[in-house]
Structure 1
Amino acid sequence: MKKVDCKISDAEWIIMKVLWEEAPLTSAKIIEAVSSHKKWSPKTIHSLISRLVKKGALGVNREMAHYEYYPLVDKRDCILEETRSFIQKVYDGSLHLMLANFIKDEKISEKEIEELQKLLDKKIDE
């Protein structure tokens, strides 16, 4: 998958998650998957698909009787970009401030603390 700008709206993320899970899919299959947890009209979903195609996040196979859509961007790349954007916007780019606020304000289990410690220890060893 190519690396592209992953500026994807919250609504578009829902479409992308469906296609990252299973692709290629026709618009009918995407509508079916999205409609199971969102009350959006098919026209709204078609609009979101079209926007994602224009942005270069989705590709479309027009050789089929019913067009099939597939992701052109990697889920992990988009998650990383979204995370960086969030940290920059909310915490002025400070990962330390974000983690400190999260750890201070959230209820974290002992198991989660151990998992975080393992991640930090692994990062030190790199």
Structure 2
Amino acid sequence: MAISEAEAIIMDVLWHSAPRTAEDILAEVGPAQQWQEGTVKSLLNRLLKKKAVKAERDGRRYLYTPLLSREKYVSQESKGLLDRLFDGRVAPLVAHFSEQRKLSKKDIAELRKLLEELGDE
């Protein structure tokens, strides 16, 4: 399931707190994104069609809840990034980031720990 950047902003709100109304979402992200109510509702409709969210009637409004988990989304996105840019390999990705951005001592320690854990398997 392909989620656009704008749709991901809506999903982020729902992953942090759901169910939410379109008005709740607009209040949270509208000012920063310069979005109007119609934009939020259009994005929610796209997410409904993709079955990334569900809507339940609550009086005269709808409450939106994510069906796509954040973990599954992150997994799909990271796999897509690896496949598109690094032939599905993690080492070139890490090398790229180490060249483009200085890795902190904490980052390096976490990578070492991960490698040690992977080496034990």
1:63 is displaced (CA, Å) by: 4.5
1:14 deviation in Å? 0.1
- Post-superposition shift, 1:96? 1.7
- Relative contact order (C-alpha < 8 Å, sep 6+): which is higher? 1
What TM-score, normalized to structure 1? Answer: 0.89
Name the aligned partner's letter for residue 92 of structure 1.
D
| Secondary structure at 1:73 match in 2 | coil
After superposition, residues 11-90 of structure 1 pair within 5 angstroms as: 11-90=6-85
Deviation at 1:37, TM superposition (A): 2.0
- Corresponding residue of 2:108: 113
Instruction: Quote the Cα distance in structure 2 between the aligned partners of 1:14 and 1:31.
Output: 11
Counterparts of 1:76 and 1:49 in 2: how far apart (Å)?
20
Amino acid at match of 1:81: Q
Measured on the aligned residues, the alpha-carbon RMSD in Å equals 1.3
Query: What amino acid is aligned across from residue 59 of structure 1 in structure 2?
Result: K
User: What is the aligned residue count?
Assistant: 121
% identical aligned pairs: 37
TM-score normalised by the chain length of structure 2: 0.92
- Alignment match, 1:123: 118
Greater percentage in helix: 2
For structure 1, which runs of at least 5 residues remain unmatched after alignment?
none
Hey, which bits of structure 1, 4+ residues long, moved more than 4 A? Answer: none
